Structure formats: structure tokens, C-alpha cells
A and B are shown apart, each in its own frame.
Chain A
Amino acid sequence: MRRVKPTIDFLANEAAVVYSLPQLYERFNLVINHPRSSIADITRIITEDTGLSSCILKLANSPLFGYYTNIDSISKAVTIIGTQQLRDMALAISCIRVFRDIPERLINMTSFWQHSITIAIISRILAIYRREANVERYFVAGILHDVGQLILYTRAPELVKEMIAASAKSGEPYTKIQRSTLGYDHGDLGGELLKRWGIPAVITEPVACHHAPGRAKRYPLETSLMHVADVIGHAMQVGFSGEPFIPPLDECSWERLSIPVSMLPTIITQTDAQLSEVLSILSGDVSS
């Protein structure tokens, strides 16, 4: 019996109904972009959500930032970390919360976030190395890059099982099987959901194209960075998001970043140094 293959729009629409982004993100955006908003206004929005506030403060004091002294208030975090940066941090945390109720039998969420957070940290380190403005944007993109996998796990679990089996049998990457089976991969699907959430293209495009960076039209650099971070993260073998194979590296992407190969050990060491604490902060929030 031939199963009907769900279209990308079908799955994305369905997911958007089930998983909705907290209003906080939009309100935050309104405030920080407001010509008359002050630090106090921004602080107020975050502190409304105590879980979010404490999580942000924990992150602000983690090795991720390495600030020399204790950041003990959100208002201080706003000034030191920056408003946009804080918004993106908040978005990352919120997204993790959105998917917190996925049952263990479908996928091990701890392992999933391990992988995503690893990619997020690598992306952020690569961006810092390149002295990109607002590195938190890369962090949140890393957190979100595999949400398409979650949609597939929750909305089409049978299909996922078949595709994973096909991948294991043929030895072909799971992502490639997704593409040949569905006509799109988890990246495309995740991108579609984020678009429906109103996330800007600077994040959605890298998510959508992270397995096919050549397709990125508007943000090729951000997409390349996401792709390279994903390859490095897979190679580090931390966590699991469905793909058992290390994705093949796109050489154009690597060259576009112009990061010397000699940097790789440093990137991995730095990632390791930040990973466990960030992981416990963010997954602690998940379990709370």
C-alpha cells in the first residue's frame, strides 16, 4: 500500500497550529525597535517571564559570555549583552520551551537539544571569530536548525521510521532519503515553520538551506556558516537529531568563511568548554 506523502505546506501549517511562538518575541521586537523605548522598557518585558529571566541571567553569567563579573539584573544584562542579543537569546530559550512536551518514545529530546545547542555554540564561535555583528543571531539559528526533524518525528512518525530504515539499509544520509522520499528535507520544513512564526529571513534561510547551502539566495554567508557548524557538530558526535551520518561538507561554504583550518581545534576546544554549562542551563529550563 502506498502511503500519501505529506507536502511541506501541509506539515508546516499543521506544526504552526500545534506549536506557536510565545507572544513575548513579538512584543520584545516591538519594544527594542521603538524609537522611544528605554532600557527600563526592555527590562520590564523580560522580567514579566521569571523563568525566562532567570534562564537569561544564567546564560549571561555562563562561559558563553565570559563576562568578568556577575550580571545580577536583567537591566544590566540588557546593557552589557545588548538588546538585540538579548532578544535572540530569549527567542532561543522560548523555542526550546515550545517543544518541551514531545514524548520520549518519538525522540530523545535531551539528545536532540544537545546536538542543536552544540551547533548553536559552534555557530556563535565562528561568528565571533569573523567579528560578525550580533553573534546571538547565529546562536538562535543553531538552536532552531533542526526543528524540521521535530515536526517530522511528531507529525509523521511512521514515515520517519521507514526513512531511517531506508537510510540504514542503503547507507545513504537520512537527509538525502528525506529529499528523495518527500521532495524536501528537514531544513526546508523547519524553515517553513519559522517563516509562519514571523522569524526574519536572516534566520529562516540558513535553517532551510543548511543541507544545501548553494540554494541560499539572500544570506549565503549565514547559511554557509550554519552548514559548516552543522558538519563540525556532527563530527563532534554530541547528541542526536535523526541524522546518523556526518553530512558532506560543501567546499564553497568552507571557503566563503575564510577560516583557517588551524582554527578548528580551537573552535572545538571552546565549544567543549561552553557546552556542558549552556546545556544544563537550557535543558534545566526545559525540564522546569
Chain B
Amino acid sequence: MSDAPEIIRQELKRLQDRNDYLEECHLRLVSVLEMLASSSEFQADLNLDRDNVSIFRITLKQVRRLLAFTHMGFYINSDENDFELLECDPPAKKEELEREVEARIMDGSFAWAINQTYPVMYPAGNGKHTLIMHVISTQSRIRGMFVGMITDSKSTVDVPSLNALSIILVNTAYALESAKLYAMLRDHTCNLEQKVGERTKELQIARQQAEAANWAKSVFLATMSHELRTPMNGVIGMAQLLEMTDLNEEQKEYVELLTESGKNLLSLINDILDLSKIEAGKITFEPTEFSLKDCINTIILMQKSTISQKGLSLKVNISNDIPDVVLGDRFRIKQIILNLLGNAIKFTLQGEITISVQVFERIDDSARIQISVQDTGIGISSGAMESIFKPFSQEDGSTTRKYGGTGLGLSISQTLAELMGGSISVESTQGVGSCFKVILPFSVVRKTSPQKDPAKMIDLWDGDPQRILVVEDNPVNGNFIMSLLKKVGHDAVLVENGRDCLAALELSEFDLVLMDIQMPIMNGEEALRIIRQKEQGSSRLQPVIALTAYSLRGEKDRFLRGGFDGYVSKPIDVIQFINEFKRVLDRWTCRRDR
């Protein structure tokens, strides 16, 4: 009996111990679980913070709640595959902690710990602490190492705490990894933006270079105008002179062909140069008062022979309300209409061409006039409609071979029309015909006296023979002009440059000087300046006509302002040349007579 209470007491004691143990375990587990549960906040913090140090600081705060570490720190895996202590708590114990870890690195246990997924523990060198190392790694890579020291007396290394430590450090590893990935993503985005920026800049530069090159080409061509037209002047001029000599039928035919080809080539050169001028932004307009009706009649006159040669008929409808005199750039307007008519003739094999002129819109003294050219030609396919206004494009390659031309005309015409504030449109049915309509703005000039179209004054020289000094360095042009003047009955002397011109004027009197501008030794402008200088105070004034390949129309004003009395552009058109000649002399005669 006496044994029984003893057994019961022992059993009671055992159960009491067991109960105490379980209670303690229970409390510990609850606290660990609580700590882990509260780590949702910790995880949110980890995700917010993007740099390693702050991720480590948050982790240290959390670890501190779990185990009583006296020293704690993080080693990170730097790029050189070296581990360095990045964060230490408390900072004052950094050296001590480093010393312990250094020893573990030396004996290889640090390397061992890196490959374990659980905390590895070592008695510290000072004999009072236990060093705990736990790798910070994700499944893909090792990010660093947690190291902590705990006093032996307090070393509670129970499984729940160690597991909780693992959980925290795995979270830390993933936070580090997402931070790294996030940084990479940001870098990539940043790089991409930078690359796009660089590429855009490069493209801009390339575009500017291309534009500059194109501009330079246009400038080159525009200035080449002189070089191209001067020899053409010679060719056409000589052919014209040749026509005036006694020729047999065969020779006459050859000369006509020569003149024709020369004119064709000149018109091609003019087209190319025009386009270049447009592209180079060098084109200028020179509005003058003129009769639109007369202008159109002149154009028709010029093309009449071609039209009848092809067996086509031509209808002209000029509306009655078309103003008599308008202000506009006659030359350019003529160019546009001539181009449209030329195209109509070129692409029509049979049938008729109709030119209609009507007022499209009129407000007071400004009028928009529509000139349409309709043909019964081959027409334009709908696919080609858009491209026909682009330079160098005819409907297709075969068109060029079959009908000739450069494909520049429409492009030039359209640009000219647009620059003048007008437009060109086209309606066409393939195989039936096309109708080009150009609408141009004009200022209406209220004048009763109708101006004479100079082009109509094609009568020959009817005045007295004149004594003329021709200053021209190009012998072909010089000869041409000399022959022309002599044919008409004038007395002409040829010199080669400005200096010789001045010498000739010293020696003798001339009724008129025809002065080339670009010449070696002394140019035309310089020679004129000296002539005018010498005239100061004298009653005698020398009429001088500029003879220039500068067919840039804007230059005409400059020459006239510069003291020239007239202006003739090369290649010389005989009729224009004689008319200008007459005009200047008439004016001088008038002035002298007064």
C-alpha cells in the first residue's frame, strides 16, 4: 500500500513535468508562429524596399524577435564572388563578428554552410558564443549569408526557432532577388529609352545630311545653269545663223533638225534646272502685267504646227469674263500651260485638244482663273494618278520610251502652281483621255490701254544701223552675236572682257554695249561700275544691256538696279534680243531727243 502513493506520486510528477514541457513548447510555438504571422508586414516592407541594405535591416529586426543574437550581420555575394559584411548589428561589433566568420571562411565551414539549406552552428573562438550561419538563397542562386552569434548559456536552438529563421531568410533571399530583377528591369527600360533616343537622333542627323546633300545638289545644278546654257546658246545660235545662209534643201533639213534637237535639249536642261531651283528654294516669281488671252494665243501659236502635223484638231474656249490685263508671272504661267498643252499633244494620237479658260472665282480685283486642257489621248490608269506629279515618273517606264520626255514637266508645273497659290488637278479615263485643270490666282489690272505682247513684235529691225560693242568671253557666243548683229545690219565690235571693253570705249563711241556678266580679268558688273563712274558729270550716257546666262529671273532686277539699261538672257532668242535692243535704244533716243 505504501508503494502505491509513491508510484502515483512519481506518475503525477512525470505527468506534471510532461505538462510543463508541453506548455512551454506550446508557448514557444505560439510565439514563433505569431512572429511568423506578423511577418506579412515584414514581407510587404521587403517588397517595398529596393536596396539590399534596407532589406537586411528589416530582416535583422525580424530575426531579433526570434533569437537573442548578440551579433548579427549579412554577408553578400559580390560580383567578384567574394563575400563581404554589408550590414552588422550592433555596428560596434562588426570587427568581432568579422573575425569569427573569417576563421570559418578559412577552415571551409563557411563554404559548407553555403550549400546547406539549414542553419549551421559552430562554437565561437572566444568560447562563450555559438556562431550560426544560414545561407540566403533562392532555388536559382545564392544571394548571401546570414551570420549571428548567440551566447552559449542562452542558446536555445530549438527546431521551431531554427525553422522560423530559415523561413525568414528564404523570404529575404527572394526579396533580394526581386530587388535585383526589378533593378534590371528598370535598367533595361532605361536603356531602351536611351537607345530609342540615340537612334532617333541618328536618324535625324541622317535625314538632315540627306536633305543637305539634296540641297547641295540642287544648288549645284542651279548654278550649273550658266555652264549648261552657254554652250547651248552657241549651238542653237549657230544653227539659227546657219539657217540664214544660202543652203541647199538637204542642208536646210539638217539645220532644221539640228535646231530642233538643240531646242529639245535646251528644254530638257531648263526642266532639270527648274526642278533644281525649286528644290533649292531658289525660285522667285516676277509678277508683271500682261494679257492672259494673248499669252494663251502665243502658246497656241507656238504649238500650232505640231498639232496640225499630228493631225489633231484644237479648240479654244476663252470665256468672255476673263479680265484683259492681269498681274502675274507671265513666264511661269506660260511654262505651266505650255507643259500641259505639250503633254496633251504628246499623248494624243488622234482626236482633239480643247483649251478652256474661265473665271473660277472672282472677288473684287482678285480672280482665280481655271485653265483646262482636255485631250482624247491615252489617259492615265487609276494606279498612276498619284505618282504622275512626282518627278521622273511617267505612267511607266515604257511611256518614256514611246512618247519621250523627262517626266519632270508635271512635277515642275504642280510646284510652280502651288508656289503661286494655285493648284493642278487631273481627271482621266484610260484610253479615253485626260483633263488637266490648273487654277491660278491673279490680280486684275484695271487698265484701258491693252499692253502689247512683246512676243508679237516679230518684225525685223527697221531703224538706223547702230554701232555696237559686244563684250563676251565665249568665242562661240561672241561670234553668234556678232553674226546676228551684222545680219540685221549693225556695225559691231567684239572684245573679250571688261578691261578690253573700257579700252574700246576710250578709243571709240558706241551706240550700245552688250555686256556679258561672267568674264575673266574684269567682269561685266565691274566694267559697268567704271563706265558709270566715268559718266559722272558728263552729259553723255552709255546704254548698256546685260547679256547673261544668269537666267535666274530674280537676278534681272539686280542688274537693272545696278545700272544696266536692259537685260537679255542667254541662250539668245533672236526676237527677244532684237525687241530688248529696240526698247533700250528707243528709250535712249527719246531721252537724248529731250
Q: What residues make up the interface of A, taking CB atoms closer than 8 Å to B?
A: 30, 32-39, 67-69, 78-80, 82-85, 130-135
Contacts and interface: CB of A to CB of B under 8 A. Distances in A.
Contacts of B109: 68, 80
Interface stretch (B94-102, B113-121, B285-293, B317-325): B113-121
Contacts of B158: 32-37
B159 A32 contact: yes
A33 B137 contact: no
B227 interface: no
B112 A84 contact: no
Contact of B117 (A32, A36, A39, A132): A132
A37 B118 contact: no
- Could you say which of B138, B139, B156, B157 has the most chain A C-beta atoms within 10 Å of its C-beta? B157
A79 B121 CA distance: 5
A39 B157 contact: yes
Given A69-B107, A82-B118, A135-B117, 14 more contacts: A33-B158, A33-B159, A34-B24, A35-B158, A36-B156, A37-B156, A37-B158, A38-B157, A80-B120, A84-B159, A131-B117, A131-B137, A131-B138, A134-B117
Given A131-B137, A131-B139, A134-B117, A33 B122 contact: no
A34 B108 CA distance: 30
B122 to A, nearest CB: 6
Contact of A83 (B25, B138, B159): B159
Interface in B119-170: 119-123, 130, 137-139, 152, 155-163, 166
Contacts of A131: 117, 137-139
B121 A30 contact: no
B120 A82 contact: yes
B118 A30 contact: no
Nearest to B28: A35
B403 interface: no
Contacts of A68: 108-109, 111-112
B171 to A, nearest CB: 13
B21 interface: yes
A70 B224 CA distance: 95
A133 B118 contact: yes
Contacts, number: 76
A158 B109 CA distance: 54
A283 B276 CA distance: 100
Nearest to B119: A82
The range of chain B's interface size is: 20 to 34
A34 B162 contact: no
Contacts of A30: 21
Nearest to B137: A131
Nearest to B32: A35
A80 B116 CA distance: 9
B21 A39 contact: no
B121 A134 contact: no
Contacts of A67: 112
A79 B111 CA distance: 15
Given A67-B112, A68-B112, A83-B157, A34 B118 contact: no
Nearest to B139: A131
Contacts of A85: 118
Nearest to A82: B118
Contact of A34 (B25, B120, B137, B139): B25
B137 A37 contact: no
- Could you say which of B109, B158, B160, B163 has the most chain A C-beta atoms within 10 Å of its C-beta? B158
Nearest to B27: A35
Contacts of A34: 21, 24-25, 158
23 contacts: A32-B158, A33-B159, A33-B160, A34-B25, A34-B158, A35-B27, A35-B28, A35-B160, A36-B158, A38-B156, A39-B155, A68-B109, A68-B111, A69-B108, A79-B123, A79-B130, A80-B109, A82-B118, A82-B162, A83-B159, A84-B163, A132-B117, A133-B118
Contacts of B139: 130-131
A6 B130 CA distance: 54
- Could you say which of A33, A67, A84, A85 has the most chain B C-beta atoms within 10 Å of its C-beta? A33
A133 B117 contact: yes
A83 to B, nearest CB: 6
B431 to A, nearest CB: 70
Q: 5 closest pairs, A vs B, by CB?
A: A35-B28, A79-B121, A82-B118, A68-B108, A133-B117
A191 B156 CA distance: 33
A196 to B, nearest CB: 21
Nearest to A84: B159
Contacts of A84: 118, 159, 162-163
Nearest to A133: B117
Contacts of B24: 34-36
B156 A82 contact: no
A41 to B, nearest CB: 10
Contacts of A130: 139
Nearest to A35: B28
A284 B152 CA distance: 36
B120 A79 contact: yes
B28 A82 contact: no
A174 B573 CA distance: 116
B156 A35 contact: yes
Nearest to A42: B157
B569 to A, nearest CB: 85
B589 to A, nearest CB: 108
Nearest to B24: A35
B193 to A, nearest CB: 35
Contacts of B166: 133
Contacts of B156: 35-38
B28 A83 contact: no
A153 to B, nearest CB: 35
B112 A80 contact: yes
Nearest to A67: B112
- Could you say which of B21, B116, B122, B162 has the most chain A C-beta atoms within 10 Å of its C-beta? B116
Contacts of A35: 24-25, 27-28, 156, 158, 160-161
Contacts of A37: 156-158
Contacts of B27: 35
Contacts of B123: 79
B165 to A, nearest CB: 11
Nearest to A39: B157
